[in-house]
Amino acid sequence: MAYLDHNATSPLRPEGRAAMERALEIAGNPSSIHAAGRAARGALDRARAQVSALVGAPAGQVIFTGGGTEANALALRGAVEGAAASGERITRLFVSAIEHDSVLATAQALAEQTPGLRLQSVHVDKNGVADVATIRAMLREGKGRALIALMAANNETGVVQPVADAAALARESGALLFVDAVQAFGKSAMDFTADYISLSAHKIGGPQGVGALIVNDAAPLAPQMLGGGQEHGLRAGTQNVAGIAGFGAVAAACVPLDSTLRDRFEEELKRIVPGVTIFGEDAARLPNTSNFALPHIAAETSLIALDLDGVMVSSGAACSSGKVKPSHVLEAMGVSDDLAGCALRVSFGWNSTQADVDAAIAALRRLVARAPAREAA
Ligand code: PLP
């Protein structure tokens, strides 16, 4: 079997499993002051240091959450509510058109629920890169404090976004910047600063359901979970000690990926499918991601055929209420619905090998060879 869906979830790294097994032996609640509690607290402190080191932020800025989706919601809702509470209301929310659904849906809901908050979309070019000039113009045109949401790299295409430029604009204009770094974290350099940065453990070989929000000390943040004073009072609830320990261990173990396997895969892909379209190919991309369309073969057909052939990939299309809806990311890049409906994503990770590339290419070759018969039928 070839598992080539690391952007969906990356299998648990042995270092993560070992750290989780050790942490599961700790009986205490990290908020308790007795020895068992202190042992649990020690596991959290270690993980906080390990995660923050990979981002280059102080450990005290890490708030552990129940995953990337929660970290995104905490950033957006926490910023808007926190700013309102301190009298510095956010009135404009700029969100790139290619954000993950957890950001798009939360931003939409926030704008509907918050009087005086205007949501504006930042478009992307045909390579899937957000337009910095649009952000600059939007910042100049309107009045009131702005919050910009721009992901570090897109989950479907792997296209890296101009986050450092957005950070410079935010600094100049007093806007806040939120970066969903769930896909970039641990895969490529994090050479930017932001007020809020969201992370998720399972995209780098850690456990699912664990994430973090890194928050600049000066940035407003209203907690969304109230009760105990955990996570500096910003996310109440007893922490998932084992999961967080696993997150820390994989953050410490992970090394940035290189693009060798992805590049070989695309080279072979172009040989066997001369008309293949590779989305975002001309832009800087994460080293592990390839998003492409096999012309005239619907993504679901390809996914099923590849799966039966032992190769696990994903499609950009989301299936809701029985209807397959083309990816909003490809749509924002101006890709036609027909082509977007044929899009597949291959994503490599820490345990990928050349054998995976070979298996994927062999399976794709068989799929393409069978395609005309299927089309005719
Ligand atoms: N943001 C991005 C860019 C993602 O790719 C994902 C997961 O697919 C998430 C957020 C959500 O993270 P989680 O699955 O930890 O909730």
> Tens digit of pLDDT for each residue in 271-325?
999 989 999 999 999 999 999 999 999 999 999 999 999 999 999 655 555 556 7
What domain range includes position 208? 14-253
* One domain, residues 214 and 126: yes
- What is the total count of domains within the chain? 2
User: Is the CB of 200 inside a 6 Å radius of any atom of ligand 1?
Assistant: yes
> In 3-state terms, what secondary structure has residue 176?
strand
Residue 107 tokens, joined: 């931003």
Write the CATH number for 210.
3.40.640.10
Q: Whose CA is nearest to atom 9 of ligand 1?
A: 68
* One domain, residues 265 and 246: no
* One domain, residues 206 and 69: yes
CA 296 → CA 85, 276, 284, 336, distances in Å? 53, 10, 27, 12
Which among 185, 220, 253 is the end of a domain?
253
205 and 254 Cβ atoms separated by less than 8 Å: yes
pLDDT for the residue 322: 54
pLDDT for the residue 272: 96
Write the CATH number for 363.
3.90.1150.10
pLDDT for the residue 99: 98
* One domain, residues 128 and 266: no
pLDDT for the residue 32: 98
* One domain, residues 317 and 205: no
- Residue 45 contacts by C-beta under 8 Å, 6 or more apart in sequence? 59
* One domain, residues 29 and 126: yes
* One domain, residues 182 and 315: no
pLDDT, tens digit (0-9, with 9 covering 90-100), for 321-342? 555 678 999 999 999 999 999 9
* One domain, residues 243 and 269: no
319 has catalytic annotation: yes
* One domain, residues 214 and 69: yes
57: phi > 0 → left, psi -120 to 50 → alpha, else beta; which? beta
Q: Which residues of the chain have pLDDT under 70?
A: 316-324, 372-377
Residue ranges of E strands in 167-304? 176-180, 196-200, 211-215, 277-278, 289-293
The catalytic position among 36, 319, 324, 369 is 319
* One domain, residues 166 and 231: yes
d(CA 311, CA 304): 9
Which among 208, 228, 253 is the end of a domain?
253
* One domain, residues 238 and 266: no
Which among 237, 253, 269 is the end of a domain?
253
* One domain, residues 249 and 273: no
User: Is the CB of 102 inside a 6 Å radius of any atom of ligand 1?
Assistant: yes
User: Is the CB of 68 inside a 6 Å radius of any atom of ligand 1?
Assistant: yes
153 and 96 Cβ atoms separated by less than 8 Å: no
